[in-house]
Structure 1
Amino acid sequence: MTSRLILPLLTIVALLTACNGQADNNQTIDASEALYAIDDFAEQTITFQEVPERIAALSSGDMDIIYALGGSLVGRPTTSLDLVSEEAEDVEQIGSTHEIDLEKLTYVQPDVVLGHTQMNAKDVPTIQGLGAQMILTDAQSVEDIKAQVLLFGEMLQKEDEAAEIVETITNKVSEIQSAARDERVSVLLVYGAPGTYMAALPNSLSGDLLDIAGADNIASDFDRLEAYPQYAQINTERVVEANPDYIFIMSHGNSTEVKDGFLKEMEQNAAWNEINAVKNNHIELLPSDLFGTNPGTRVTEALDFLVSLFESAPEDS
């Protein structure tokens, strides 16, 4: 998707001219003059003369990590999800990784914009033109989230705080894995929007969380989609054959509508009602702020939520 260019051309030119001094400082720092440098997930080396104070985040996970590290934001993602910090309520909403609001982003004059490696790589020149640097990351696993925490800790020069957060996440994973059930349940993990449903694969963040929580992903051998390699097309017959114990549905919004639409589509198969998940009423809507998007440091809450769903399942399910 392309970013929205809302300001008239002449206004943008004027704003870029006003930001030229800042752009020169951020983008042409000689390595010998830099105070420190970091390497992001896209293998960009970003240098800093001082710790950035004006940070804009395009995703809720990045926002959460910055606040967890004791930082602050001048721009936050446009979202209907609950905010991780009361401080964020008054922060300007600047769009998302899917669609950046350049007018509002220009208004807040960030030093750094936090974006996504796949969705925002194309936006780097535009962000640099606004006098800011763009740091690209993504999270397809708990290990990726830990790496994000450490990277943002380097950026904010809060390495000790970052190490503590990573240790907390690591301990949570170890705790869950050490208490794993002998019998793993099977799960279909659905990511949906009205009229569109995909099965999350093990190489997705939600798939990784599922594995850590002690469940088997029935879509592990489904063919991945070329455009979305962490997901696969859902085949009703294969779902019926796999007979999952649970069906989890994730969505960014309109969760009830997504669930109703998915069930209506699946119920067209006569064998649907014979699936264990259907017979035992184990079809769950997962919280949007913890699943279907990067929850940041709240990944520990996401893991606890999954474990709590499995605790009541019989060992011979």
Structure 2
Amino acid sequence: MKDKMNIYILFLMALLLLYLAGCGPHVQIDKSYYHRSVQSDDGVAVQVPDYPKRILALSSAYDTILLGLVDPSRLAGVNSLSTYEQYSLEAHKAKHVKTVMRSYSLEKVIALHPDVVIAPEYITRDVIEGLRYMGIPTVVVNTGKTVEGVINNVETVATLVNESERGDQHVASIRQDIERMRQLGSTIDSKDRKRVLFVSSMDGYTGRDSLFDDMCRYMYIDNAPTAMGYPSHTSFTDERVIAMNPDYIFIPAYKGLDKNLSDRFLKTPAFHTIPAMVNHHVEPLPAAYLYTANQHIGNAMLSIMYVVYPQLERKSHE
């Protein structure tokens, strides 16, 4: 362990020497620029700029939050997924960010000269500690795994980039959508509730204790794997899909429908007797609704609710 740590320190020192020697992009840290202290979710107090101008998020979910708060010119880069129309509801803004990333190696992040980095908890410690060692303020924000957790993250990121007023507006909009769902949901009899299976290329991702599972409570929908009592991240085998007997099956669309997933459900004879197939309720849904850990979560939930209960959309327009 000691040898590994020594190698790690030497690696970081070598990086620093390269930068100071001019062998790479030169990083100048103006400490007078960092006036605010924020608490990172890994327990570290981080000094951040009053008004960050080169913000970098190491997650497409946080890209979407940021693009709803700041002008794209204030972002040092975005994830490539954030530029897909069906993956991010802020894709039109993401396309105005010059640097598009597919990975977040330490070297790539440093080369962008960010004045603050927002990292989810699953980013490796080597990257987080390496960025801090280089003097780049790096704040860990834990991924929102519930609707309330997502709302909290919108507030946290808004505060971090000094856009609390816009963050408050987004939160108010989400709360308004939640209240609308409560009013609509109160008209649904318990015997009329629908059972939904939302599949993902990450098998079991939308099962018990997932963000989608929590969203279902607000939408007055029964999440099929939870209704069957399956533990978190249980894979959706053919036998389990048949046992779940969903009324709707949602397949995420990115730049188009996920063909592997759609073929699996549309071309498996054993599935043809389940209600979703009988009633032609195998539906494409923008991936942005599946990965909606951002300010659009209220609108995403309402949209899904209207697909499952089309009579409610008609009622909302009366």
Aligned partner of 1:61 in structure 2 is: 61
Q: TM-score w.r.t. structure 2 length?
A: 0.77
- Greater per-residue helix proportion: 2
Question: Closer, same or farther in 2 for the Cα pair 1:87/1:184, shift >3 Å?
Answer: closer
Asked if the contact 1:191/1:251 (under 8 Å) is kept, the reply is no
Matches within 5 A, 1:218-229: 218-220=224-226, 221-224=229-232
Cα distance in structure 2, aligned partners of 1:87 and 1:274: 43
Asked if the contact 1:200/1:232 (under 8 Å) is kept, the reply is no
For residues 83-141 of structure 1, what are the alpha-carbon distances to aligned partners after superposition, in whole Å with 9 as ceiling and x for unaligned?
62655324243535xx3155543332001122211234442022224431222221212
- Give the superposition deviation at 1:199: 5.3
Question: Closer, same or farther in 2 for the Cα pair 1:186/1:158, shift >3 Å?
Answer: same
Aligned partner of 2:281 in structure 1 is: 282
Aligned partner of 2:241 in structure 1 is: 239
Matches within 5 A, 1:1-317: 13-15=17-19, 21-22=28-29, 25=31, 35-48=35-48, 50-71=50-71, 72-79=74-81, 80-82=83-85, 84=90, 86-96=92-102, 99-137=103-141, 138-180=143-185, 181-182=188-189, 183-192=192-201, 197-198=203-204, 200-220=206-226, 221-224=229-232, 231-250=233-252, 255-263=257-265, 267=268, 270=270, 272-291=271-290, 293-312=291-310
Structure 1 stretches of at least 4 aligned residues deviating more than 6 Å after TM superposition = 9-12
Q: Structure 2: any 5+ residue segments left out of the alignment?
A: 1-12, 313-318
Question: Closer, same or farther in 2 for the Cα pair 1:100/1:16, shift >3 Å?
Answer: farther
Cα distance in structure 2, aligned partners of 1:50 and 1:17: 29
Cα distance in structure 1, aligned partners of 2:20 and 2:254: 34
Asked if the contact 2:53/2:115 (under 8 Å) is kept, the reply is yes
Q: TM-score w.r.t. structure 1 length?
A: 0.77
Asked if the contact 1:188/1:247 (under 8 Å) is kept, the reply is yes
Asked if the contact 2:249/2:281 (under 8 Å) is kept, the reply is yes
Letter paired with 2:248: Y
Aligned partner of 2:6 in structure 1 is: none
Letter paired with 2:230: F
Question: Closer, same or farther in 2 for the Cα pair 1:294/1:93, shift >3 Å?
Answer: farther
Asked if the contact 1:121/1:136 (under 8 Å) is kept, the reply is no
Question: Closer, same or farther in 2 for the Cα pair 1:95/1:162, shift >3 Å?
Answer: same
The count of corresponding residues between Structure 1 and Structure 2 is 284
Q: Structure 1: any 5+ residue segments left out of the alignment?
A: 1-8, 225-230
- Give the superposition deviation at 1:238: 2.9
Structure 2 residue matching 1:289: 3-state secondary structure: helix
Structure 2 residue matching 1:48: 3-state secondary structure: strand
User: How large is the RMSD of aligned CA atoms in angstroms?
Assistant: 3.1
Structure 1 residue matching 2:212: 3-state secondary structure: helix
Question: Closer, same or farther in 2 for the Cα pair 1:253/1:128, shift >3 Å?
Answer: farther
Letter paired with 1:73: L
Question: Closer, same or farther in 2 for the Cα pair 1:159/1:21, shift >3 Å?
Answer: same
Percent of residue pairs identical: 20
Cα distance in structure 1, aligned partners of 2:14 and 2:125: 25
For residues 70-90 of structure 1, what are the alpha-carbon distances to aligned partners after superposition, in whole Å with 9 as ceiling and x for unaligned?
353121112251362655324
Cα distance in structure 2, aligned partners of 1:240 and 1:234: 10
Structure 2 residue matching 1:203: 3-state secondary structure: coil
Question: Closer, same or farther in 2 for the Cα pair 1:122/1:188, shift >3 Å?
Answer: farther
Structure 2 residue matching 1:286: 3-state secondary structure: strand
